[in-house]
Chain A
Amino acid sequence: MAKDQTPKADELFSTIDYKAPEKSWMDTPVEFKPGTFCHGSRPKYLELLHMPYPKEWKPGEEDWKLPENWKEIFLDGMAERLKKYRSFKLFMDICVRCGACADKCHFYIGGGDPKNMPVLRAELLRSVYRKYFTTSGKLFGKTAGARELTVDVLRELWYYAYQCTECRRCSVFCPYGIDTAEVTIIARELLNLLGLNTDWIAGPVSNCYMKGNHLGLEPHTFKSSIEFFLSDIEDITGIKIEPTFNRKGAEILFVTPSGDVFADPGTYTAMGYLMLFHELGLDYTWSTYASEGGNFGFFTSNETAKRLHYKIYAEAKRLGVKWILGGECGHMWRLIHQYLNTWHGPADFLEVPKSPITDTAFENARSTKMVHVAEFTADLIRNGKLKLDPGRNDDIKLTWHDSCNTSRGMGILEEPRYVAKSVCNHFYEMPENTIKEYTFCCGSGTGLNAGENMELRMRGGFPRANAVKFVRDVHGVNTLGNICAIDRAALTASMDYWVPGIRVAGLHELVANALVMKGEKERTVNMRNEPLPGKEAKE
């Protein structure tokens, strides 16, 4: 998928250079390199969202059409957030520049730009903080690590705020626990006060606001996509499935990222959900209103994220369900797990989720009332409720990519592995320092998975790809599993680029292959309509 102006993989690899620039970082101006940044947000999206300063603008050009008092807006916004978010204030103050995080960022590893060392990326904003909000910075300026907020500094802040995927790998290594993602989040908020977002983020956010999902699928279109999958499922299994939509009184509301209902390979994962829930006879409903698990609003501002997020709960309330089951998504879960209670308080109008199949109560979801489908399925398998034939996945040699938000963000480490090992006979881990809480980002999270910044994405995807290459070479691994919609799209591109031949699959695609359903016809093909192992001759 990586094409156009992006250099070939070996050429790109040869340009990774860790040599420091000759001048200090403050004296090294930002250079907007083609292939490393996204298009500017178009005014129509910001207008629709009532976000400030909509305009036509191009990040690579000099004139950003800033309001006259842009500096005042930025600094007032900063003051407000220093007061509002103790984390932000703390992270502005406490870094001792020990450098433990310096070589932990995938963008630094794959690019060599020192401003992608997490310490320095945060320093871009810290230097402004010191200048305007600390006595030492006001008095001693540059000597105290402080600098004026100029248009060039603003441009630099923007360039690097959109070269951080908020994956938080650096924070795992920080002796103070500084969460650089929180710094990036605030930096993006401040830039949004000036109308400086990307089209790839602002478009999906406005779609989600108006139509319920990032893609902008209208209710009948959302339903139509799922009906296509049902037709494929019937061809593959002989079983006719009739899910419900917007059904009041269902026990469970199911929500998943909209990418899964349109883009391969997520579509195969969506088929897996449909098959599993049918087999269980689950009393659940899809919603064409809460038709998005993801939340690109989180990549603009907390306030926007909050607005988009609550529709899931509003729909749960409207439909009168008992609890919510969530699909394979990344940042959706970070918001549920870490932000819901602060934004809206516990969802006490719902019940503590309890599996109707195993009677397991998911106490970990006591507050959010929302269970991750990997936990749900792991519990089913643990209790012997599924008939599985892992031999159907015998052509797969699987390794597991921990998605940043679900692993580092909320500790889902073992459940997907347990499910994956139950449905695949061949499972191999990547090196320890690249998985679980140390996992490497796909390189394209937080709304960076566009087409025009492909070089940046491939650089950021390099460390993960390198670990996959290792298990491919040592164990013959041919498939990279994960539980995140952006991973499924982004890793497909980065694997094609760095490790061609590696296939990317969602967990429930693998479950669907192995799931033995009551009344199914002899299965000869997998979810991708390819012959199952041993069935090739029948094709």
Chain B
Amino acid sequence: MPVIEYSGARVNVDDEGYIVNFEDWNGDVACALAEKEGVEELTKEHIDILKFIREYYRAHHFFPVLNAICKNVHQPKNCVNEKFMDPLVAWKIAGLPAPDDLIINLLKYGQSPG
């Protein structure tokens, strides 16, 4: 199984780089994932977004409404796109499980099934 490393942290990921165990995530893992995704530096703003996404996912098994993320972490509208290029990148760096087509189309392409 592929492994990514950062500052001594090692975590298992799948073939597409999504972490395998949700609970393996921490700040260092996030940095490792971010590096892979081309997000150069994780600031406090980034981390706040990621933590909110994770907490929401833990409770709701889904990604939060985009505007709700920004509002809850007190950042400008479109904060997710501005900080992470697209919400699917945020999904990955937040350590959520490998998404299916539905999530990819929803988050990367803005498409919803009905």
Interfacial residues, chain A to chain B (CB-CB below 8 A): 1, 39, 42, 199-201, 203-204, 207, 214-218, 220-221, 224-225, 228-229, 231-232, 257-259, 262-264, 266-267, 292-296, 329, 331-332, 444, 447, 449-451, 454, 485-486, 489-490, 492-493, 529
Q: Is the interface of A mostly helix, strand, loop or mixed?
A: helix
Min Cβ gap B108→A in Å is: 6
Q: For residue B101, which residues in chain A have a CB less than 8 angstroms away from its CB?
A: 39, 199-200, 203, 450-451
Knowing A215-B106, A218-B60, A449-B105 are in contact, say whether A204-B114 is a contact too (CB < 8 A): yes
Indicate if the CB atoms of A485 and B114 lie closer than 8 Å: yes
Counting CB contacts under 8 A, is B6 at the interface? no
Q: For residue B102, which residues in chain A have a CB less than 8 angstroms away from its CB?
A: 200, 203-204, 207, 214-216
Knowing A203-B101, A204-B102, A493-B109 are in contact, say whether A228-B114 is a contact too (CB < 8 A): no
Knowing A200-B102, A231-B71 are in contact, say whether A293-B65 is a contact too (CB < 8 A): no
Indicate if the CB atoms of B60 and A489 lie closer than 8 Å: no
Bound together, the chains give a CA A287 to CA B39 distance in angstroms of 40
Knowing A224-B60, A228-B67, A228-B68 are in contact, say whether A293-B114 is a contact too (CB < 8 A): yes
Chain B residues 55 to 74 lying within 8 A of chain A, measured CB to CB, are 59-62, 64-68, 71
Indicate if the CB atoms of A296 and B113 lie closer than 8 Å: yes
Chain B residues 33 to 83 lying within 8 A of chain A, measured CB to CB, are 59-62, 64-68, 71, 77
Indicate if the CB atoms of B100 and A203 lie closer than 8 Å: yes
Min Cβ gap B8→A in Å is: 35
Q: For residue A214, which residues in chain B have a CB less than 8 angstroms away from its CB?
A: 102, 112-114
Min Cβ gap B71→A in Å is: 7
5 pairs, CB–CB < 8 Å, chain A vs chain B: A200-B105, A203-B101, A214-B102, A228-B67, A232-B71
Count contacts on B: residues with CB < 8 A to the other chain: 24
Indicate if the CB atoms of B113 and A447 lie closer than 8 Å: yes
Counting CB contacts under 8 A, is B4 at the interface? no
Indicate if the CB atoms of B106 and A263 lie closer than 8 Å: yes
Chain B residue nearest to A292 (CB atoms) is B114
Chain B residues 79 to 107 lying within 8 A of chain A, measured CB to CB, are 100-102, 104-106
Q: By CB atoms of chain A within 10 A, which of B67, B77, B101, B112 has the most?
A: B112
Knowing A200-B105, A203-B100, A264-B67 are in contact, say whether A259-B60 is a contact too (CB < 8 A): no
Q: For residue A1, which residues in chain B have a CB less than 8 angstroms away from its CB?
A: 109-111
